[in-house]
A and B are shown apart, each in its own frame.
Chain A
Amino acid sequence: MSALPEWLTTRDEFAPGKESGAFLRKSANALAFVLRSARYMPERGGFFRFSPPVKLALALVTVLFVSASSNFAFVATIGVVLLSYLATLDARRLARVLTPPLEAFVASVLILAPSLIWGQTRAFWIVPVKTLATTTALSLLASSMNWNRFTCAFKSFGLPNALIFIFDLTLKYVVVFSEICLETFDALRLRSVGRNRRQARSLGAIAGLTFLRAQDAAKDQFDAMTCRCFSCVYRRYRAPFRLLDALGVIFILLETTAFWYFESVV
């Protein structure tokens, strides 16, 4: 048997100080939130049944037109359409989809509140509504597609393979490294048993190490993909074009017409 040092054979008596450790706890919680979002499994049904390229096109066209529009009626119309759709979702799904847009909406209202002092009421209303509409469109997209569907959809729009590859690896590593980071946070928390005056430094070390690990892992991942016959060429989405997708395309055309009408006629 190994001869243990004397201190390891006795019991330590130690009373920890009053340091709260809230900095570590809050950082770990924030990371856990990101990880939960990244791990989220997409839902099915309704908008969620459109094929990935149609979903992506719908969301991007909505974001583009709402952002570019200077007409409040158009923005409000899109907002009403989105809210009507959201009203058909069950409570759990609605909460998941609507929480990030509402947070963004409240943040934009707070940021723009001073504009009321200068009498800019139009900006005060249109920017938060635009924020709500665009983030809702993106939230619907994010909650209905997982990362590999995104890469297929991108390929359908003719994006270069190199760009899709970077996007693909980035998304994969958001999950992989959030997990490693979270585990390291746990290790740090379990060993932060007294007064740690260098909490920020420890967190910085974790961030630095995660960056180093990311470089190694990205190289290993690429090597593994190459060994499994990956040649940096992504495939297009090849599912048949269905009636539902045709409805999606009709909606895109309607949205384009509405944008043109509200901007040039009204």
Chain B
Amino acid sequence: MFEMKNATYSYDGETTALSALNFTIVQGEAVAITGDNGCGKTTLLRALNGLMSPVVGEYYFDGALIDKRALADASFAKTFHRRIGFVFQNADAQLFCGSVEDEIAFGPRQLDISESDSRRRVDDCLALMRIENLRRRAPYALSGGEKRKVAFAAVLALNPEALVMDEPLENLDASGRELVLDLCRSLKSVGKTLIFATHNESLVSEIADRRMRLERGEIVNIEDVR
């Protein structure tokens, strides 16, 4: 599903952030990306979402080359973005609507589904993340953990085939962490691809099939953890 061939990414064409990445992630797989702070985990997740283009090498999603040229085609870019959900590390930056309900409905309202189906998705996502009580609240005014749950719900409402998560357990209390772990297990069981950057070992051991370890922008190890 995801394939990088000798892909090198840089900021502003000057600072190399990731160099010569070679890996393949298949549909339904769960891959943990680990490494020290600043090793390039977030950059790799951004690259997988097409927010950066390789300066050298290639990145393929489902056999299609993902680069600036491909993403300049709005129709292709939208299809690509709909198939991959991205939960940012900073949930605060991910939320931009006036209420939690609008935030979750933002994606479904753009799809060719009826308003009632769109509402049903919102209700289901609220229930899934156990945030029904936050429905009318402004995301801006929520706590860090609540924002994280809303961010998850907003991404799930688009029904992505792959979920890319940056530190998914950050800001969550014990019950919130258990909720997300449980959700990841369920998503994996229905064939969703999960890719997450984390420092949390329990997330790696319970969810991941493989662990990709980064050091200074390079993959130093890919190992099976199942």
Contact B185 A8 (CB under 8 A): no
**Is A184 engaged at the interface, CB distance under 8 Å to the other chain?**
yes
Chain A 239-266 near chain B by CB (<8 Å), digits 1 or 0: 0000000000000000000000000000
Contact A194 B96 (CB under 8 A): no
Contact A183 B161 (CB under 8 A): no
**Is A172 engaged at the interface, CB distance under 8 Å to the other chain?**
no
Residues of chain A with a CB closer than 8 A to B12's CB:
36
**Is B202 engaged at the interface, CB distance under 8 Å to the other chain?**
no
Contact B96 A205 (CB under 8 A): yes
Contact A7 B159 (CB under 8 A): yes
A192–B186 alpha-carbon span in the complex (Å):
26
Number of interface residues of A (CB under 8 A): 41
**Is B172 engaged at the interface, CB distance under 8 Å to the other chain?**
no
CB nearest neighbor in A for B72:
A25
A17–B78 alpha-carbon span in the complex (Å):
9
Q: Which residue from A4, A15, A20, A202 sits with its C-beta under 8 Å from B96?
A: A202
CB nearest neighbor in B for A188:
B96
Chain A 190-205 near chain B by CB (<8 Å), digits 1 or 0: 1111111000001001
Contact B128 A192 (CB under 8 A): no
Which residues of chain A in 153-211 are interfacial with respect to chain B, using CB atoms and an 8 Å cutoff?
A: 180, 183-184, 186-196, 202, 205-206, 209
Q: Given the known inter-chain contacts A19-B74, A20-B74, A183-B90, please indicate yes or no for A205 contacting B97, CB distance below 8 A.
A: yes
Contact B140 A190 (CB under 8 A): no
A213–B91 alpha-carbon span in the complex (Å):
13
Chain B 105-126 near chain A by CB (<8 Å), digits 1 or 0: 0110111100001001100100
Contact A205 B159 (CB under 8 A): no
Q: Given the known inter-chain contacts A4-B187, A212-B140, please indicate yes or no for A184 contacting B124, CB distance below 8 A.
A: no
Contact B96 A209 (CB under 8 A): yes
CB nearest neighbor in B for A216:
B140
Which residues of chain B in 52-106 are interfacial with respect to chain A, using CB atoms and an 8 Å cutoff?
A: 74-75, 77-79, 81-82, 84, 86, 88, 90, 92-98, 106
Give min CB distance, A18 to chain B, whole Å.
7
A11–B187 alpha-carbon span in the complex (Å):
13
Residues of chain B with a CB closer than 8 A to A209's CB:
95-96, 140
**Is A16 engaged at the interface, CB distance under 8 Å to the other chain?**
yes
Give min CB distance, B208 to chain A, whole Å.
16
**Is A91 engaged at the interface, CB distance under 8 Å to the other chain?**
no
Residues of chain B with a CB closer than 8 A to A90's CB:
none
26 CB-based A-B contacts, threshold 8 Å: A1-B182, A2-B128, A4-B186, A4-B187, A4-B190, A5-B120, A8-B190, A10-B159, A11-B159, A11-B161, A12-B82, A12-B159, A14-B111, A16-B75, A18-B74, A184-B93, A186-B46, A186-B88, A188-B96, A189-B81, A193-B81, A193-B110, A193-B158, A194-B111, A205-B96, A206-B96
The interface of chain A, by Cβ under 8 A from chain B, is 1-5, 7-12, 14-22, 36, 180, 183-184, 186-196, 202, 205-206, 209, 212-213
Question: Given contacts A1-B189, A189-B81, could you give 17 more A-B pairs where the C-beta distance is less than 8 Å?
Answer: A1-B182, A9-B190, A12-B111, A16-B82, A20-B74, A180-B92, A183-B90, A188-B96, A190-B51, A191-B155, A192-B110, A193-B79, A194-B110, A196-B110, A205-B96, A209-B96, A212-B140
The interface of chain B, by Cβ under 8 A from chain A, is 12, 46, 49, 51, 74-75, 77-79, 81-82, 84, 86, 88, 90, 92-98, 106-107, 109-112, 117, 120-121, 124, 128, 140, 154-156, 158-159, 161, 179, 182-183, 185-187, 189-190
